[in-house]
Amino acid sequence: MSVFGYLVFILFLFHPYNCHCQQVSGDPLIKKWSESSHLKRPSHFVLTTWNFGGATQAAYNFLTQRNGSAIDAVVEGCGYCEREQCDFTVGYGGSPDENGETTLEAMVFDGVSMDIGAVGGLKRIKNAIGVARAVLLHSGHSILVGDAATEFAKHMGFKEETLSTNNSVNQWIQWMNDKCQPNFWERVVPDPEKSCGPYRPLDVYNTKSNVNTQPPLEGYRIQSHKNKFHHDTIGQIVIDKTGAIVAGTSSNGAMHKIPGRIGDAAVPGAGSYADARYGAAVSTGDGDIMMRFSPSAAVVEKLKQKMSPEKATWQVIQSIREKYPDYNGAILAVNAAGSFAAACHGFEAFPFTVSSSDIDGGRVKKFYIMCSS
């Protein structure tokens, strides 16, 4: 294991939500749940991306102590990270866009009804996952975005308030002082690696016919921003005592994104997907790349074909790698029987947490897997 991997392990081990931290590969406990198809489905189950043990605990407590539904437990779990600003990549006060504004995105995917509620580019409302649930419950739509989503949230009783903090404002000021480096602009002039713009397109099109007559411009398509940005979306899957399976996501998006960008956390099939007949999956990482492959939906389709979660997540991660070898991403999945697994690429290691009525009495368990590269 590299020095970075060792440090990651130590950080996980001594986190306030400490538990027996284990590597997935070869571990008998995780193998028991990732490979067995005959296990009785747990009565309460929570699976969460990253080292967000507090969110897992919050969702599990809502299930067991308040007799809550899977939908409400996902909202409670993701809402925990929104309030606590997990890694500053979830909730207010993080990932300012090019205008210095923090915007949020979230989704709730009900695997029983196959209904979703999602918001993208949500401004001035802190509880994005709560607004996503309101979209699901109180509208006939699936996704609301931008200022209109904020107006909807206000009608639903959510408080309008700033999402900026001293930290996020200082991040934006530093970025501006660094000539807007890094950024997401491509095939524009002036050179986006040396200037803040404003930008205009490179003349790569035939202006008469508006048909691209030139070969692709080498070096102008950025394959991945993995070395420039954090992508720690919270993705969470919950199974309640009725067998309902619900997936949820919440994120403040990519750092220094172009205003108006919607990430995978708000896109069904990308950030999350659930079908209570077969299971659910959530994804995290380089959202602009991963959403092109609908990875969560692809994994659940493989679960439908009775593939194990371990094999399904690995196959989808590697299918993205074939096109984008430099991307980073991870997928978590659970099938309808409660078997779960994860796969990842590009990160040194990927942690996740589990709380299940069938594992150590529901105590939050932390695992990490080493990723392909």
| Parallel, antiparallel or unpaired: strands 200-201 and 22-23 | unpaired
The residue assigned the tokens 């779990």 is: 77
Asked about 150 being catalytic, the answer comes back as no
Does 203 count as an annotated binding residue?
no
Catalytic residue among 233, 249, 313, 353: 233
Cβ contacts of 73 within 8 Å, gap of 6 or more: 46, 59, 60, 62, 63, 238, 240, 246
Query: β-strands 188-189, 143-145: how paired?
Result: unpaired
DSSP one-letter string for 81-126: HHHHTGGGTSSSS----TTS---EEEEEEETTTTEEEEEEEE-S-S
CA atoms within 13 A on the CB side of 25: 9
- Residue 59: burial class (beta carbons within 10 Å; 0-12, 13-18, 19+): buried
- Is 264 a known ligand-binding residue? yes
Phi/psi region, residue 306 (left: phi>0; alpha: psi -120 to 50; beta: rest), is left
- 360 is known to lie in a ligand binding site: no
**Was 243 annotated as part of a binding site?**
no
> Nearest Cα to 75, choosing from 221, 249, 274?
249
Contacts of 121 (CB under 8 A, 6+ apart): 103, 105, 145, 146, 149, 260, 261, 262
Known binder of ligand: residue 284? Answer: yes
Contacts (Cβ under 8 Å, ≥6 apart) of 366: 12, 15, 17, 19, 20, 21, 22, 51, 53, 351, 352, 353
Q: Which of 66, 104, 102, 60 is nearest to 82 (CA)?
A: 104
**Binding-site entries for substrate:** 261-264, 284-287
Residues annotated within the binding site are: 261-264, 284-287
Catalytic (active-site) positions: 233
